[in-house]
Amino acid sequence: MKEPAKNPQAASEYAKAGVDIAASDLAKARIKGLIEKTFNDSVVGSYGGFGGLYSLKKLTGSDKVLVGSADGVGTKLKLAYMTGRHDTVGQDLVNHLVNDILCCGARPLFFFDYLGLGKVAPGIVEDIVKGITIACRENDTALLGGETAELPGIYGSGEYDLAGFIVGWVDNDKAIDGRQIKSGDRIIGLASTGLHTNGYSLARRAFFEIAGMQPGAVIEETGSEVCHELLTVHRSYLKVVSPLLDKGLVHGLVHITGGGFEGNIRRVLPEGIGAVVDTSAWEPPGVFKAIARIASVSSEEMYRVFNMGVGMVLICAADNSQGIIEMLQGQKVEAFVIGVCRAGNKEVTVKF
């Protein structure tokens, strides 16, 4: 991606848009010890992965492990408010969480949602839940229930927040925890369907505040409307990655969300291993180029905030990389080698 003009007025456009990644990282570091004080012998691993793992061994004698995760849709919801389209954000929520527990090798079992609104509008609630049920069916996941709360004074008129909670399972000996990753392993990028659910504060600042565009305006780099690009549903990788898990071909999986490549790949690397990501290995979609151009965002920040067209990273043995790419492409998911693992101390280098 061509380096946009530097903005000497701000070190971080994302911070200017209201999101401070460094503060978020610090907060997580400060609560880690508090969280881990609640752990018992059934908890598998430590805090900080894409999902939390809980062994059923003590309860049932089973070797199965429950894997759970919770998340929200973020400020992508602002696009739903703006356009009046509420049937996609529920799909985003489910698919995001399915991808998170997939990084542990888990298949989903059931889902709960939380919907908080300034005022209950039955049609909007129905559209949101319709989106959730579409994605639940696509991912073979049961929607067991949830909470709908009317909270005037917290949410404004026409506004709401949406969060989800997922539980899945994996056999203990099939869990993906990164321990198999070794120097020389290849890093394969799986194409995203756009921004997914991260970086929307900066995207909205670029298109609507700086450029002054309306949702129906056409983006120069894509030839499509802003609302189309920004409301594209977050892709689920469950069905395309599961066959690879069944064959034992996967050493590590990374969901590229907030924190980008550096922040997320580091989460799965074992001690003594680092990684290099080469951004020349793929061409970012036009929507990312447009954000960089309009807001004068550096490449370093773009790859720290956005997925840049790679929604999930798969780490595998070098000898298996080409076969895996062919399998993924056979399932209509573009895939390409974007880097390599090497000796190091969990350092992730993003080359421009």
3-state secondary structure 141-170: CEEEEEEEEECECCECCCCEEEEEEEEEEE
240 shares its domain with 161:
no
Secondary element (H or E) of residue 252? strand 252-255
CATH of the domain at 119: 3.30.1330.10
Indicate if 238 and 276 belong to the same structural domain.
yes
Q: What is the pLDDT, as a whole number, of residue 3?
A: 41
Structural domain contains residue 100 = yes
How high does pLDDT run on average in the chain? 94
Statement to judge: residues 209 and 335 lie in one domain = yes
Of the pLDDT bands very low, low, confident and very high (cuts 50, 70, 90), residue 22 is: confident
The pLDDT value recorded for residue 331 is 94
pLDDT tops 90 at residue 246: yes
DSSP per residue over 210-227, as a string? IS---TTPBPTTTSSBHH
Pair 209, 133 in one domain: no
pLDDT of 206 above 90: yes
How far is it, in rounded angstroms, from Cα 261 to Cα 306? 9
Q: Does residue 136 sit in the same domain as residue 123?
A: yes
266 and 303, same structural domain? yes
**The predicted structure's pLDDT at residue 7:** 43
Residue 336: inside a domain: yes
Distance CA 55, CA 65 (A): 4
Q: Residue 279 above 50 pLDDT?
A: yes
Domain final residue, candidates 159, 174, 189: 174
* Residues 333, 228 share a domain: yes
Q: Is the domain of 330 the same as that of 197?
A: yes
In a domain, 5, yes or no: no
Query: Last residue of some domain: 174, 207, 226?
Result: 174
**Same domain? 207 vs 183:** yes
Q: How far apart are CA 260 and CA 107, in angstroms?
A: 24
**Which residue stretches of 256-319 are H helix?**
260-265, 286-295, 299-305
Domain boundary among 139, 174, 209: 174
- Decide if 185 is inside a domain: yes
Question: CA nearest 257: which of 107, 112, 93?
Answer: 93
118 domain residue, yes or no: yes
Write the burial class of residue 259 (CB in 10 Å: 0-12 exposed, 13-18 middle, 19+ buried). Answer: middle
Q: What percent of the chain has pLDDT over 70?
A: 97
Cα–Cα distance for residue pair 119/149, rounded to 1 Å: 9
Reported as a pLDDT band with limits 50, 70 and 90, residue 47 is confident
Q: How far is CA 27 from CA 20, 34, 36, 135, in A?
A: 11, 12, 15, 31
CA neighbours within 13 Å on the CB side: how many for 182? 4
Residue 311 parent element (H or E):
strand 310-316
Does any domain span residue 8? no
The number of distinct structural domains making up the chain is 2
Query: Which range (41-50, 51-60, 285-294, 329-338) has the least confidence?
Result: 41-50
31 belongs to a structural domain: no
Dist CA 39 CA 107 (whole Å): 23
Are residues 68 and 147 both part of a single domain? Answer: yes
Lowest mean pLDDT segment, chosen from 35-39, 44-48, 70-74, 264-268: 44-48
Q: Is 345 helix (H, G, I), strand (E, B) or coil?
A: coil
Domain CATH for 223: 3.90.650.10
* Residue 164 pLDDT: 98
Residue matched to tokens 């802003």: 226
pLDDT band at 10; cut points 50, 70, 90: very low
Residues 202, 272, single domain; the answer is yes
pLDDT tens per residue across span 53-102: 999 999 999 999 999 999 999 999 999 999 999 999 999 999 999 999 99
Q: Are residues 85 and 162 in the same domain?
A: yes
In a domain, 241, yes or no: yes
Print the domain residue range for 302: 13-17+178-351
User: Of 99, 91, 273, whose CA–CA distance to 187 is shortest?
Assistant: 273
